[in-house]
Amino acid sequence: MENLELLAEPDLVGRENELETLQHYLDLAVQGKGTTVFVSGEAGSGKTRLVNEFLSASKQKRDINQLSGWCLSNSVIPYFPFMEAFNVYSSGYSKKGSSSGMRQGGLQQGLEKEGLVVDEELGLRAWLMGPGKTERKRELEELSPQAWKDSTFAAVTKALFSMSAKKPTILFIDDLQWADTASLTLLQYISRFIASEKVLILSTFRSEDLNPDSEGHPHPLADTLRLMSRENLYKEIKLQSLNRFSVSLLAEDMVGGHIQADLAEKLAVESQGNPLFIVESLKMLLEGGGLIQENDRWRLSTGKIGIPTKIKDILVRRLGVLKPAQRKMLEIASVIGYKFNPELLASVAAQDSLETLETLNSIEQSTSLVIGEGDMYRFDHGKYREALYEEISQPLRRAYHGRIAERIKSSRSAAGKLPVGDLAFHYAEAGNKEKAVKYSLDAGQEALKIYSGTEAIKHFRYVLDATTDIEKYADEMMIALEGLGDGLYAKGRCGEATEVFERLSKNTTSNSVKARALGKAIDASFFWGEYSRTLDYADRIVEYPELTPLERARVRFNRAKARAWGGEFVETSSAHYLKEMEESLRVFEGEYSLSDIHSTLLEMTTAYVSNDQLENAIAAAIRARALSEFSKNAGETAMVASWMSLTYSITKLEDEGLKALEDAIRVNEKISDPVSRAFVETTTYWMSGQLIEAKAASKLFSGLPLETMRSFGAGAKFKFFMSSLISGALRDFKQSLKAAIAQSLKGAACADETDSYFYKTFNYGNLVREYSLLGDIEHAEEYYKKLKKIFDDTSISGIFHSRAAYASVRATYFSSRKKWKEANQFHEEAIAIYDSGQIAGDRTMPIAGERQAYCWDLLQQGRFSDAKIQFEKAKRAMEDLDRRFEHSNVIGHIIGPARVKLGIEFNMRLDLINVAKNPAVLIQIEELVPSEFSIVSMQPSYNVQKNAAELEKKSLKPFTDDAITFTLKATKTGDFNLNPQLIYVNELGETKICKVDPISITVLPPDAVGSSQKGDA
């Protein structure tokens, strides 16, 4: 103990550059240019030390907020680092309502002092804890998991930004390699928004820990880093090992004197410049008398103790200084975790808590192996916990885990809110299968509730593995299967999810579970791209008596959707599936289920187009977008915005399409989940690549002087002629192609985040075409191979839409290689499929586009008269389309419940959409509501006289939805028809009438059963 003072922490050495870099990023953050900075390096390289040094220095220099969180070594509590950072975590082991309330009070007061209200509806703590954890409004409890996550992320971001609005704020999270995936996505999300905020995010991680797990799944942090780097969201400081000079400096500082060259050399070589190694080996040597001072210099005392080559050996040897009772204490602590609650420790060790605290205190004093922090203790370094843990014999380890689980459970029984993830972990490690299964199921459900797919998968997989073929666990297995499917689906692993739901549907004995499983299999298989399966599942359950009318309508709708896309698998005509969709829509409207309505409408757009009802298609897309605002799920909204661009693309309204995509990108910002984002982004980039390309192509095309071309022959001569004639336009076109490629590449990267080959084909197809057109044969081939593999290996070639698109892409690909026979053949094939009427989505514009490309190729082959035929057909079609949306054209649609009760208020909505490039002026709505209904309120409010509303010459802008919403009350029972008509004036001053499709409402007596409005608006 005589060397005690020498064991003090050495001064920081050799990190001047890193400190300067950190300072630079803080300066930027202070100017409102926030960044996320990762400090990475191996265990013991000095990450934590560097950041702490920096934090305390900057605290002295500037008035800043500092929030610090750290990660649990077994990442079982979602959002734990953020709860720590915002000081809202109530420890997993505390006495009746003690610290949680106080801590929250502390935060609340703290934030209020900063002039903040964290969240109007819920405290930050409640959001982070997840649904069902605290008392709160029922309406919020019913949020979908995805929406819950979006709101949580928004609340945390808001809290952080209101703090940083007052003064610059540093958020520090240590040991990110242990973070749960919810925290990782939250970190990524916040990073996206700090570029113009006074926020610096600092985080450390162990670089050697990012290996894939035993099943080859990437480490969650590795995943996050890849996603973040794609968006350029972070900077990284990689900590190098200390150089020889710094090693000596450090050592001399520690021993408090000069050291012999030989010792310096040995330290540097053995430690390879790892500070933890150096610090700990010196402590070991000093404690064990391995160092002696001679001639004013320290050297190794001969032979007695050398320096081990492995850090773990040093650590284990240092643990040797502990007395047996101390050692036992720390062993138990190492089973609890890197940071541990002394009370839990005492209880597990069956010791008096005072005694435990005394032991910990003496360990801290004599060895600094543990450090007290607030109510908690932690190991000086994570490596100590690992070394100790590994030293415990297997049976003892299990017994400790079991005891810990029991103690956690009994201490919490009063409060009733168990840290189920913790329990699942400890019981599993204890080998207590029954309890591990029980708590893993709970933990899995909790993970699903906060939309944390990775954790959910882990928990449910455990259950399935543990219960295979064990009769008495049949129920648990079914729950785990469903949960696993949900988790996989949430992670965009649609194929695996489909298989799991299918397995569940076969194994369950409950009809309602079976119906639910098949319902979920329908969604998963559709996203995956396996429409024949979607159809099969739908056929199997559509007549199930267990389905409610709403559920049955959903199945029918999905079946129609799969038919629309599925092509070859079905005989149905587009008119037939449009009808089925319309009927489902009636049911959704009758139930006033807005989220069903908007997704149905979106899907109906392609069905309308197939039936040449382009105006209805556009109106449906615009309504879908307007109604999606009522969805609390940003993912759905962004999806609608993104997909509606397809409608604009096939109606040749490219600029509207691009506008829709800008909107999609804006909404997508709000989405917390990377997989949902990937689906939206891949669609967005696919379409924007396509729209940019299509716009450029038709511009180039319209300038073709076809009549004068004949005399210039084919091949090289033709090429020369073309390039001199339209060189400027060609250059523009190439520029546009490059812009399109940039979009499609991003889209492909997003699609690769999922296993949906359907989505992958979009962007791969774009890339083959765009590279081919650009003449970049090499890249074209790269993506052609990928695309071909999907078509060869999967059932996607059975889908008409995909097959047509594939043929079209191949035509361009072969034409770029001057293989005219193939090129021509594929052009013909694409046109034929588009023209067959089987396809979801139209013929007109895709065919015109195809003919345009075909014409181009025929010209190069010197086939002028054939080229002219294609040219003329394409041109006519495009001109028709341009004209079709010229004059103001208002389409109205009314949504109301099918049944209401007398005297009870209900909602109704009238959408007015102008499907034209010119505005319309609304004059009046006649027959607005039957006189038996009284209008309680109306938004916007108009003057209603004798059932007619005067609209004060309201102007309806092109391609927008102006809705009027009503709250009504029926004053009489019976059946009533609503049959409104709109009077408007078009841009030529002509008066027009728009008849809205009528609906009927049945008014029931107030005591009738099962008929109230169910809706979300």
Ligand X SMILES: Nc1ncnc2c1ncn2[C@@H]1O[C@H](COP(=O)(O)OP(=O)(O)O)[C@@H](O)[C@H]1O
Contact residues: ligand X, CB under 6 A = 9-10, 12-15, 41, 43-49, 250, 275-276, 279, 381
169 burial (CB, 10 Å; 0-12 / 13-18 / 19+) is buried
Whichever of 252 and 546 has its CB closer to ligand X, that residue is 252
Distance CA(147)–CA(676), nearest Å, equals 12
In the complex, the smallest distance separating the C-beta of residue 939 from Mg ion, rounded to whole angstroms, is 56
Whichever of 182 and 282 has its CB closer to ligand X, that residue is 282
Whichever of 46 and 635 has its CB closer to ligand X, that residue is 46
DSSP 843: S
200 burial (CB, 10 Å; 0-12 / 13-18 / 19+) is buried
Beta bridge partners of 609: none
In the complex, the smallest distance separating the C-beta of residue 188 from Mg ion, rounded to whole angstroms, is 21
Tokens encoding 302: 């001969």
Whichever of 279 and 928 has its CB closer to ligand X, that residue is 279
Tokens encoding 42: 């191996």
Specify the length of the chain in residues.
1017
The entry of ligand X, Mg ion, none near residue 695 (CB within 5 to 8 angstroms by kind) is: none
In the complex, the smallest distance separating the C-beta of residue 422 from ligand X, rounded to whole angstroms, is 24
In the complex, the smallest distance separating the C-beta of residue 47 from Mg ion, rounded to whole angstroms, is 5
Tell me the site size for Mg ion, rule CB under 5 A.
1
Distance CA(687)–CA(693), nearest Å, equals 10
**Contact call for residues 981 and 868 (beta carbons, < 8 A):** no
Beta bridge partners of 738: none
Per CB under 5 A, the segment of 41-49, 583-591, 653-661, 753-761 that binds Mg ion is 41-49
In the complex, the smallest distance separating the C-beta of residue 39 from ligand X, rounded to whole angstroms, is 8
The entry of Mg ion, ligand X, none near residue 754 (CB within 5 to 8 angstroms by kind) is: none
The entry of ligand X, Mg ion, none near residue 14 (CB within 5 to 8 angstroms by kind) is: ligand X
Per CB under 5 A, the segment of 44-52, 161-169, 460-468, 740-748 that binds Mg ion is 44-52
The entry of ligand X, Mg ion, none near residue 13 (CB within 5 to 8 angstroms by kind) is: ligand X
In the complex, the smallest distance separating the C-beta of residue 965 from Mg ion, rounded to whole angstroms, is 56
Q: What letters, b where the CB count within 10 A reaches 16 and e where it falls short, cover 515-537? A: bbbbbbbbbbbbbbbbbbbbbbb
Whichever of 13 and 799 has its CB closer to Mg ion, that residue is 13
CA distances in angstroms from 297 to 246, 248, 389, listed in the order given = 17, 12, 37
In the complex, the smallest distance separating the C-beta of residue 49 from ligand X, rounded to whole angstroms, is 3
Whichever of 100 and 177 has its CB closer to Mg ion, that residue is 177
Q: Report the Cα–Cα distance between both ends of the chain, in Å, rounded.
A: 73
Whichever of 22 and 617 has its CB closer to Mg ion, that residue is 22
The entry of ligand X, Mg ion, none near residue 276 (CB within 5 to 8 angstroms by kind) is: ligand X
The entry of ligand X, Mg ion, none near residue 404 (CB within 5 to 8 angstroms by kind) is: none
Whichever of 85 and 1003 has its CB closer to Mg ion, that residue is 85
The entry of Mg ion, ligand X, none near residue 46 (CB within 5 to 8 angstroms by kind) is: ligand X
Beta bridge partners of 170: 66, 200
The entry of Mg ion, ligand X, none near residue 279 (CB within 5 to 8 angstroms by kind) is: ligand X
DSSP 5: G
177 burial (CB, 10 Å; 0-12 / 13-18 / 19+) is buried
In the complex, the smallest distance separating the C-beta of residue 125 from ligand X, rounded to whole angstroms, is 28
Q: How far is CA 1005 from the centre of its chain?
A: 46
Question: Which residues, in sequence order, are CB contacts of 996 under 8 Å at separation 6+?
Answer: 892, 893, 894, 910, 979, 980, 981, 982
Per CB under 5 A, the segment of 45-53, 527-535, 681-689, 1008-1016 that binds Mg ion is 45-53
In the complex, the smallest distance separating the C-beta of residue 53 from ligand X, rounded to whole angstroms, is 8
Q: Does 52 bind Mg ion (CB under 5 A)?
A: no
Q: Does 68 bind Mg ion (CB under 5 A)?
A: no
In the complex, the smallest distance separating the C-beta of residue 339 from Mg ion, rounded to whole angstroms, is 12
The entry of Mg ion, ligand X, none near residue 44 (CB within 5 to 8 angstroms by kind) is: ligand X
DSSP 42: S
Q: Which amino acid, 367?
A: T
The entry of Mg ion, ligand X, none near residue 9 (CB within 5 to 8 angstroms by kind) is: ligand X
- Residues in region 881-910 near Mg ion by CB under 5 A: none
The entry of ligand X, Mg ion, none near residue 43 (CB within 5 to 8 angstroms by kind) is: ligand X
> Which backbone phi and psi does 513 adopt, to 5 degrees?
-65, -40
882, 885, 886, 888 alpha-carbon torsion, rounded to 10° = -170
Whichever of 45 and 684 has its CB closer to ligand X, that residue is 45
**Contact call for residues 515 and 537 (beta carbons, < 8 A):** no
Residue 965: how many CA atoms within 13 Å on its side-chain side? 10
The entry of Mg ion, ligand X, none near residue 342 (CB within 5 to 8 angstroms by kind) is: none
In the complex, the smallest distance separating the C-beta of residue 207 from Mg ion, rounded to whole angstroms, is 12
Whichever of 321 and 399 has its CB closer to ligand X, that residue is 321
Beta bridge partners of 962: 912
Closest to 422 (Cα-Cα) out of 331, 340, 330, 478: 340
Q: Does 48 bind Mg ion (CB under 5 A)?
A: yes
The entry of ligand X, Mg ion, none near residue 421 (CB within 5 to 8 angstroms by kind) is: none
**Contact call for residues 140 and 122 (beta carbons, < 8 A):** yes
In the complex, the smallest distance separating the C-beta of residue 414 from ligand X, rounded to whole angstroms, is 37
Beta bridge partners of 238: 40
Strand order in the sheet with 961-970: 890-895, 906-914, 961-970, 933-939
- Residues in region 109-148 near Mg ion by CB under 5 A: none
What H or E segment, with its residue span, contains residue 116?
A: none
The entry of ligand X, Mg ion, none near residue 49 (CB within 5 to 8 angstroms by kind) is: ligand X
Residue nearest to Mg ion according to CB distances in the complex: 48
Distance CA(894)–CA(784), nearest Å, equals 47
Whichever of 48 and 66 has its CB closer to Mg ion, that residue is 48
Whichever of 43 and 585 has its CB closer to ligand X, that residue is 43
Whichever of 52 and 573 has its CB closer to ligand X, that residue is 52
- How many of the other CB atoms lie within 10 Å of CB of 611? 19
In the complex, the smallest distance separating the C-beta of residue 201 from ligand X, rounded to whole angstroms, is 17
In the complex, the smallest distance separating the C-beta of residue 42 from ligand X, rounded to whole angstroms, is 7
Closest to 850 (Cα-Cα) out of 504, 952, 839, 170: 839
The entry of ligand X, Mg ion, none near residue 10 (CB within 5 to 8 angstroms by kind) is: ligand X
Whichever of 48 and 981 has its CB closer to Mg ion, that residue is 48
Distance CA(503)–CA(518), nearest Å, equals 10
Per CB under 5 A, the segment of 47-55, 58-66, 123-131, 152-160 that binds Mg ion is 47-55
The entry of ligand X, Mg ion, none near residue 220 (CB within 5 to 8 angstroms by kind) is: none
Residue nearest to ligand X according to CB distances in the complex: 46
In the complex, the smallest distance separating the C-beta of residue 256 from Mg ion, rounded to whole angstroms, is 25
- Residues in region 788-817 near Mg ion by CB under 5 A: none
Tokens encoding 279: 């610090």
In the complex, the smallest distance separating the C-beta of residue 274 from ligand X, rounded to whole angstroms, is 8
Whichever of 14 and 519 has its CB closer to ligand X, that residue is 14
Strand blocks (E) in 639-678:
none
> Which backbone phi and psi does 343 adopt, to 5 degrees?
-70, -40
DSSP string, 711-736: GG-SHHHHHHHHHHHSHHHHHHHHHH
Whichever of 382 and 897 has its CB closer to Mg ion, that residue is 382
* CA-CA-CA-CA torsion sign (31, 33, 36, 37): negative
Residue carrying the six token digits 């059975």:
798
In the complex, the smallest distance separating the C-beta of residue 777 from ligand X, rounded to whole angstroms, is 49
Would you tell me which residues interact with Mg ion (CB under 5 A)? 48
